[in-house]
Amino acid sequence: MRFSAQRLQQAITRREFMPFYQAICHSATGAVAGCEVLVRWRHPEKGLLRAGLFIDSVESAGMEYALMRMLMDEVLADIRRLLPVPQRPFLLTFNVSPGLVMAPVSRHWLLALCILLRQAGVTPVTEITERQDIRLYPGAAEEFAQLVQHGLQFAVDDFGAGHTGRHLPGITQAAFIKTDRRFTADPTDPASVRFIDDTVRLARVSGARVIAEGVETARQAAALRARGVDYLQGYHCGAPMPAGLFYYPLGTQPVPAHV
């Protein structure tokens, strides 16, 4: 689907976008360690649209920053409304493009947002999406290093697919590596097993933790757990859902020893 800049701007003004939250679980215990924010569009004619259907239009219209400002306002409101989160620390990851990190205005916003999220009681993690090639941004290595120094934790998203995994400067500074869901699909596929093992090894060396995406079955979860993956995310652990539905069952979860 393609949407014009004018229609997207209208949707931001009318606050038609909203955050959904998808659980990220400890692979060892299944307890919820945090969540990823995924934007949804309550489109008046087309119904509820998932991000994959409109985020390309948002980015090519240069409106990611405007969208993210609106969206993260809603996230902060959700957290404040629904606190206390039972588990601390509680990871809250959200997606940003390399372009948003690299533009000075949005970079300062990002740092300020992370302070607000921490004050609201969650541990913010930015997931760097792979749709843009980070090589387009000279100086990216220095910028990422500075952001990490300012306390920003980031995750390499879709590792093994797209541009980001190979080219994200300072991958060794990533706090999390999220393996692309193609490596989750068949836990017996030798190439996937090799990739997961290599990623876990890389993470152990750099001090990062590994999140496997797209986990849909108990069999996939067991295979990833056996290979040392730290966290699981996917329909097996829970679909993306609105704040109220997401937070409600958290009170019944065992409290993990650490995140």
The residue whose two tokens read 């038609």 is 16
240 binds, among ligand C2E, Ca ion, none (CB under 5 to 8 A by kind): ligand C2E
Quote the CA–CA distance of 26 and 230 in Å, as a whole number.
Answer: 6
234 binds, among ligand C2E, Ca ion, none (CB under 5 to 8 A by kind): ligand C2E
235 binds, among Ca ion, ligand C2E, none (CB under 5 to 8 A by kind): ligand C2E
Quote the CA–CA distance of 104 and 154 in Å, as a whole number.
Answer: 18
Q: Tell me the per-residue interface mask from 119 to 148 with Ca ion, x by CB under 5 A, - otherwise.
A: --------x---------------------
Nearer to ligand C2E, 113 or 251 (CB): 113
Residues 6+ apart with CB under 8 A from 113: 72, 124
Q: Check binding of 64 to Ca ion (CB under 5 A).
A: no
Q: Tell me the per-residue interface mask from 25 to 54 with ligand C2E, x by CB under 6 A, - otherwise.
A: ------------xxx----------xxx--
Quote the CA–CA distance of 182 and 205 in Å, as a whole number.
Answer: 24
Its sign, for the CA torsion 128, 12, 57, 232, is positive
Nearer to ligand C2E, 47 or 251 (CB): 47
Per CB under 5 A, the list member of 130, 143, 158, 230 interacting with Ca ion is: 158
Is 212 in a helix, a strand, or coil?
Answer: strand
Backbone φ and ψ for 136, nearest 5 degrees, come out as -70, -10
Quote the CA–CA distance of 191 and 15 in Å, as a whole number.
Answer: 44
Q: Check binding of 158 to ligand C2E (CB under 6 A).
A: yes
Which residues in the 170-199 window bind ligand C2E by CB under 6 A? Answer: none
Angle of the 5-13 helix axis to the 64-82 helix axis, nearest 10: 20
Per CB under 6 A, the list member of 98, 165, 187, 214 interacting with ligand C2E is: 214
Quick one: which of 105, 83, 95, 103 has its CA closest to 52?
95
Q: Tell me the per-residue interface mask from 240 to 259 with ligand C2E, x by CB under 6 A, - otherwise.
A: x-------------------
Dig out the tokens for 256 from the structure.
């993990």
Where on the chain is the footprint of ligand C2E (CB under 6 A)? 22, 37-39, 50-52, 55, 64, 68, 71, 94-97, 127, 129, 157-158, 214, 216, 234-235, 240
